[in-house]
């Protein structure tokens, strides 16, 4: 059995992580170039991603591997619903749509749930450990850029079970310990790492879908200036939407 899955995931996805950080969408996001319509469209796609992931994790709540990293306090769907109600109104379900990139993402989650549920570990790792790591920084960027009213529009980034930075840090350590406790052999470890790299790519595809809209919103000149700045990348202190460690 492999007792160091967390380290394998971290080192094995470093390149994918850096590529994700350097998407044009994320570069603009970190510069505060946010537009309410585009951000809410991303949240709409993430609603489908998280609701699918959390449905499949629950489906396998008794799985010998998946169950060990299924922490209900990480669930994002309910919080995303609150944000969508804020941005679109109470009839938000009628106004959101799943993009082609989002559909590919959702389909992949459903596929692995049916064929090899243990690979859901990779989806959980990329999404939730990312959300825990960069949520507060991203929340502050969104609140400032969109000039949001207090306590509205950024529930996606908030974890009610972990209200402080210290509690988040403690839970991240607990999550990594859970990863390292999984009964996985070397072959399955490599499959999980490969799936995590695919999750990064699926997330990048979702961000790429939004980039032309960002370009139109801020203008070609500013867009070109921002995307020309290369980030070196980090596996520990990086801020990226939904994919942060």
Q: DSSP code of 129?
A: I
Question: How many helices (H) and strands (E) in the chain?
Answer: 11, 0
- What is the predicted pLDDT for the residue at 158? 96
The answer to whether the annotation marks 201 as part of a ligand binding site is: no
16 within domain boundaries? yes
Cβ atoms within 10 Å, residue 141 = 21
Q: How far apart are CA 219 and CA 147, in angstroms?
A: 21
235 within domain boundaries? no
Three-state DSSP class for 237?
coil
- Total domain count, the chain: 1
pTM: 0.92
196 within domain boundaries? yes
CATH code assigned at 51: 1.20.910.10
99 within domain boundaries? yes
110 within domain boundaries? yes
Q: Closest Cα to residue 227, out of 14, 31, 17, 15?
A: 31
Write down the residue that tokens 């996805």 correspond to. Answer: 13
245 within domain boundaries? no
241 within domain boundaries? no
Q: Closest Cα to residue 125, out of 52, 200, 51?
A: 200
- What is the predicted pLDDT for the residue at 3? 78
Q: Closest Cα to residue 235, out of 202, 211, 200?
A: 200
Query: What value, to the nearest 5°, has the Cα angle with vertex 159 and ends 79 and 200?
Result: 80
The answer to whether the annotation marks 155 as part of a ligand binding site is: no
Tell me the two tokens of residue 164: 């402080």
42 within domain boundaries? yes
Measured between alpha carbons, how far is residue 142 from residues 36, 70, 85, 110, 152 in Å? 9, 28, 17, 30, 11
- What is the predicted pLDDT for the residue at 21? 87
- What is the predicted pLDDT for the residue at 134? 81
Is the CB of residue 154 less than 8 Å from the CB of residue 148? yes
- What is the predicted pLDDT for the residue at 84? 99
Residue 89 backbone class (left: φ over 0; alpha: ψ -120 to 50; beta: rest)? left
What string of pLDDT tens digits covers the 245 residues of the chain?
Answer: 767 999 999 999 999 999 998 999 999 999 999 999 999 999 999 999 999 999 999 999 999 999 999 999 999 999 999 999 999 999 999 999 999 999 999 999 999 999 999 999 999 999 999 999 887 889 999 999 999 999 999 999 999 999 999 999 999 999 999 999 999 999 999 999 999 999 999 999 999 999 999 999 999 999 999 998 765 554 444 444 444 33
The answer to whether the annotation marks 17 as part of a ligand binding site is: yes
Range of the domain at 137: 5-227
The answer to whether the annotation marks 169 as part of a ligand binding site is: no
């Amino acid at each position: 059995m492999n007792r160091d899955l967390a380290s394998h995931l971290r080192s094995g996805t470093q390149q994918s992580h850096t590529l994700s950080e350097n998407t044009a969408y994320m570069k603009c996001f970190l510069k505060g170039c946010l537009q309410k319509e585009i951000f809410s469209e991303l949240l709409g796609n993430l609603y489908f991603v998280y609701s699918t992931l959390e449905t499949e994790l629950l489906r396998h709540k008794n799985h010998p591997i998946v169950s060990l990293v299924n922490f209900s306090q990480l669930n994002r769907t309910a919080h995303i619903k609150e944000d969508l109600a804020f941005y679109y109104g109470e009839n938000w379900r009628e106004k959101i749509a799943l993009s082609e990139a989002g559909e590919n993402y959702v389909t992949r989650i459903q596929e692995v749930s049916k064929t090899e549920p243990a690979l859901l570990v990779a989806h959980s790792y990329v999404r939730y450990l990312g959300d825990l790591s960069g949520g507060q920084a991203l929340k502050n960027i969104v609140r400032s850029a969109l000039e949001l009213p207090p306590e509205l529009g950024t529930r996606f980034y908030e974890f009610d079970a972990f209200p402080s930075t210290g509690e988040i840090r403690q839970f991240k350590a607990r999550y990594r310990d859970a990863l390292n406790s999984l009964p996985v052999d070397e072959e399955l470890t490599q499959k999980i790492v490969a799936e995590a790299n695919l999750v990064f790519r699926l997330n990048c595809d979702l961000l790429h879908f939004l980039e032309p809209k960002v370009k139109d919103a801020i203008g070609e000149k500013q867009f070109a200036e921002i995307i020309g700045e290369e980030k070196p990348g980090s596996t520990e202190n990086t801020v990226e939407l939904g994919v942060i460690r």
